[in-house]
């Protein structure tokens, strides 16, 4: 199972249920929704899609089966924007 | 403790800024 972790050099601001991630080295701003921000917070430590789903089930009322797919898509987007990296 | 309402995590926006 692939593990992910945040890259260094990001500052995070929570504002009106959105999370704003500033990278002062790459000069980018990324905005996440509330659940995305919760996932981002978890990615302070090494995580897999499965461990994130388990954490989300403890925090949110989830009754849909596609959560794992949601998380994998989200992680793929974070990788694409350079916010996370593979953890070894 | 009451759980929050789940919606899929999303990247809403990403942009360079004498």
Q: pLDDT digit of tens for each residue in chain A (88 aa)? A: 799 999 989 899 989 889 999 888 788 999 999 899 999 989 988 899 989 998 999 999 887 778 989 999 999 999 989 999 999 7
DSSP-assigned beta bridge partners for residue B7: none
Position A80 scores a pLDDT of 87
Condensed to tens digits (0 to 9), the pLDDT of residues B1-18 reads 678 989 999 999 998 985
Flag whether A25 is in a domain.
yes
> Are B8 and A35 inside 8 Å of each other by CB?
yes
Give the number of beta-carbon pairs within 8 Å between A and B.
66
Position A20 scores a pLDDT of 95
Looking at the 3D structure of chain A, how many domains does it have?
1
Nearest to B15 among A29, A32, A62 (CB): A29
Tell me if A35 sits within 8 A of A56, measured CB to CB: yes
Position B1 scores a pLDDT of 65
DSSP-assigned beta bridge partners for residue B5: A61
Flag whether A88 is in a domain.
no
Q: Backbone dihedral region of A2: left (phi > 0), alpha (psi from -120 to 50 degrees) or beta?
A: beta
**DSSP reduced 3-state for A24:** coil
Flag whether A74 is in a domain.
yes
Q: Give the range of the structural domain holding residue A18, as residue numbers without chain letter.
A: 4-82
Q: Please, which residues have CB within 8 angstroms of residue B10's CB and are 6 or more apart in sequence?
A: A32, A33, A35, A36, A74
Judged by a CB distance cut-off of 8 A, whether residue A31 touches chain B is yes
Flag whether A66 is in a domain.
yes
What CATH code is carried by the domain that includes residue A69? 3.90.930.60
């Amino acid at each position: 199972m692939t593990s992910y972790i945040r890259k260094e050099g990001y500052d995070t601001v929570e504002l009106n249920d959105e999370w704003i991630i500033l990278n002062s080295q790459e000069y980018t701003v990324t905005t996440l929704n509330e659940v995305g921000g919760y996932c981002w917070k978890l990615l302070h430590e090494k995580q897999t899609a499965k461990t994130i789903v388990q954490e989300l089930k403890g925090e949110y009322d989830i009754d849909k089966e596609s959560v794992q797919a949601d998380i994998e898509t989200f992680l793929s987007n974070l990788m694409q924007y350079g916010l996370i990296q593979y953890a070894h | 403790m009451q759980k929050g309402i789940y919606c899929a995590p999303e990247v809403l926006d990403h942009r360079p800024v004498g």
